[in-house]
Amino acid sequence: MRNFLILILLPLSLTLSAQEAESRSAGRIRLITADMPGVVIQDTAVYNMLDRRVNGSSEHVLTIDGYRVQVFSSNQQQEAKQQALMLEQQLLEKISEPVYVQYATPFWKVRVGNFRTLQEASSYQQELGQLMPEIQASSYVVRDKIEILL
């Protein structure tokens, strides 16, 4: 009887070990579903971040509420896009902060930076005004979705 149980349980344990090793070697995190009793369900954004971390992605970008410095905004359709792109090139040559050209009907906008606090954005606005006096009068801090690296 004991040999019989060993013969039945041995293949079952080998199968489970192989599946466990396979899931570890694949580097995947399984999503837990609501039909599993006693399990807390996490937000899919957390699941995706963990999945990227396990799979070895080197950069993780998270979008959160924050601030940027807006240096240009115009609804003059004939000229606004061209002006925004020219200003973007000028900024990229002079600063290390990221520059974003956005179109939100009917406005073309150029925004700079990813700042978590209003104080950081205001401080950078002053630095930018000293570096480029021609945009100092038209620049101001705006709330925006910002990107941060994890």
Instruction: Indicate whether 93 pLDDT > 80.
Output: yes
pTM of the full structure: 0.60
Interatomic CA distance for residues 98 and 114, integer angstroms: 7
- One DSSP character per residue, 73-140 reads EE--HHHHHHHHHHHHHHHHHH-SS-EEEEEETTEEEEEEEEESSHHHHHHHHHHHHHH-HHHHTT-E
pLDDT given at position 126 = 96
The burial class, CB within 10 Å (0-12 / 13-18 / 19+), for 141 is buried
What are the structural domain ranges in the chain? 2-54, 61-149
Q: Shortest CA distance to 139 belongs to which of 71, 90, 54, 74?
A: 71
117 confidence band (pLDDT: 50, 70, 90): very high
Interatomic CA distance for residues 126 and 111, integer angstroms: 14
pLDDT given at position 57 = 58
pLDDT given at position 19 = 45
pLDDT per residue as tens digits for the range 12-71: 555 544 444 444 444 455 555 556 566 665 666 665 666 666 665 556 788 999 999 999
What are 127's two structure tokens? 């630095």
What is the rounded average pLDDT of the residues 104-131? Answer: 95
Mean of all residue pLDDT scores within the chain: 79
Topology, domain 61-149: Alpha-Beta Plaits (3.30.70)
Interatomic CA distance for residues 84 and 140, integer angstroms: 16
State the chain's maximal CA–CA distance in angstroms.
91
pLDDT given at position 78 = 81
Cβ neighbours of 71 (radius 10 Å): 25
2 φ/ψ angles, rounded to the nearest 5 degrees: -65, -40
